[in-house]
């Protein structure tokens, strides 16, 4: 039986956020949103070194909230998974971040005052029907999950350090020490073409999620974050306590936190892919199980590319 037909245990989320400029900054460029009515939670960090980072972060939050709100009715009319097994909630929150990126670029292009502004983003969207929370992020704002006392970082920073380790894993630590830690490789407002990382997670009763900017985890060790999150305080108190802890550790940057508690729900998680209906026999486009390696850059996906896309795929298959 699939999750589309199972009765998912009822889940209630409780969330709160807190932000502060920190001890070293004159202006707070972090923004957050807690929208229980939309099951949506967002943290954005105005990118350092860019003009009007606070404007970019505020615009990104507003754009993501507006998109999710505007698509609420249509989302309820769609199945929980598309015919490819992809959660529609994941596609929706990714689309919201893409819309925010387009809005920031548009303002940046038309306003000299805001030229070059940018922001990171991490956003979580909960879909009650499936019991999944979809986490999208760009840059180095993070999402953590505390489950059964275990703290796990469930986003991976889009940073220079990450890219170097992925491409040159043989480099020793002395070489890595020379890399600057404050360079991110993805941000909203930089380019129209944006890759948004999205993952879907099954909520479990007692889960506690944390969205935060780098102003929290840079001065605080993971053990300190886990200790504060592990307290039985309400989300509002916990979000404020995390900000206080970062300031007590020096507060070198702006700080934003959103704490999300999961009340009720299942007591174990299953992979979200198991919940998707299998494709119908007539939808099996490639009966040959051989793996194909194809980059998205190899396919023309502009608005008039339907014929070109089919031709490209046909040429690829013809080479087999």
Give me the pLDDT at residue 266, please: 79
Does the 11-278 domain belong in CATH 3.60.40.10? yes
Cα–Cα nearest to 314, from 290, 291, 289, 285: 285
Give me the pLDDT at residue 31, please: 98
70-125 tens-digit pLDDT = 999 999 999 999 888 899 999 999 999 999 999 999 998 887 777 789 999 999 99
The first and second tokens of residue 283, run together, are: 């939808």
- pLDDT at residue 50 is higher than 60: no
- pLDDT at residue 288 is higher than 70: no
Residue 180's pLDDT band, with cuts at 50, 70 and 90, is confident
The arithmetic mean of pLDDT across residues 168-174, rounded, is 83
CA distances, 189 to each of 41, 59, 101, 318 (Å): 20, 10, 5, 40
Give me the pLDDT at residue 274, please: 45
* Upper half-sphere CA count for residue 180 (Cβ side, 13 Å): 4
> What is the C-alpha separation between 226 and 221, in angstroms, rounded?
9
Q: Report the SS3 class of residue 267.
A: coil
Residue 3's pLDDT band, with cuts at 50, 70 and 90, is very low
| Count of beta carbons in the 10 Å neighbourhood of residue 75 | 17
Give me the pLDDT at residue 4, please: 44
- pLDDT at residue 237 is higher than 50: yes
Q: Report the SS3 class of residue 135.
A: strand
> What is the C-alpha separation between 156 and 145, in angstroms, rounded?
13
Residue 162's pLDDT band, with cuts at 50, 70 and 90, is confident
Domain spans, the chain: 11-278, 285-320
125-143 tens-digit pLDDT = 999 999 999 999 999 999 9
Residue 39's pLDDT band, with cuts at 50, 70 and 90, is very high
More confidently predicted of 89 and 279: 89
Give me the pLDDT at residue 29, please: 95
Give me the pLDDT at residue 14, please: 97
More confidently predicted of 81 and 300: 81
CB-based contacts of 147-156 (< 8 A; 24+ apart in sequence): 147/204, 147/206, 147/207, 147/208, 148/206, 149/230, 151/222, 151/225, 151/226, 151/229, 153/222, 154/199, 154/201, 155/122, 155/197, 155/199, 156/197
């Amino acid at each position: 039986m699939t999750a589309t037909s199972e009765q998912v245990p009822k889940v209630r989320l409780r969330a709160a956020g807190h932000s502060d400029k920190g001890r070293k900054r004159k202006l707070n460029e972090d923004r957050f949103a807690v929208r229980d009515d939309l099951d949506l939670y967002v943290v954005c960090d105005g990118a350092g070194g860019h003009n009007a980072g606070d404007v970019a972060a505020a615009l990104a939050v507003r754009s993501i909230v507006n998109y999710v709100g505007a698509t609420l009715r249509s989302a309820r009319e769609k199945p929980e998974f598309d015919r490819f097994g992809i959660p529609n909630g994941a596609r929706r929150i990714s689309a919201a971040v893409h819309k925010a990126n387009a809005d920031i670029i548009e303002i940046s292009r038309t306003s000299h005052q805001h030229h070059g502004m940018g922001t990171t983003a991490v956003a979580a969207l909960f879909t009650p029907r499936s019991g999944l929370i979809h986490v999208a992020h760009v840059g180095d704002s993070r999402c953590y999950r505390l489950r059964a006392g275990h703290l796990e970082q469930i986003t991976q920073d889009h940073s220079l350090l990450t890219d170097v380790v992925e491409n040159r894993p043989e480099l020793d630590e002395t070489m890595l020490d020379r890399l600057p830690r404050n360079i991110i490789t993805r941000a909203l407002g930089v380019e129209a073409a944006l890759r948004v990382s999205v993952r879907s997670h099954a909520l479990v009763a007692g889960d506690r999620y944390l969205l935060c900017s780098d102003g929290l985890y840079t001065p605080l060790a993971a053990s300190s974050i886990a200790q504060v999150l592990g307290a039985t305080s309400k989300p509002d108190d916990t979000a404020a306590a995390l900000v206080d802890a970062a300031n007590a550790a020096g507060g070198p940057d702006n700080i934003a936190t959103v704490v999300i508690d999961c009340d009720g729900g299942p007591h174990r998680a299953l992979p979200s892919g198991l919940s998707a209906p299998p494709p119908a026999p007539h939808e099996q486009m490639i009966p040959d199980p051989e793996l194909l390696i194809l980059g998205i850059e190899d396919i023309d996906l502009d608005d008039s590319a339907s014929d070109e896309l089919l031709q490209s795929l046909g040429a690829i298959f013809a080479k087999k």
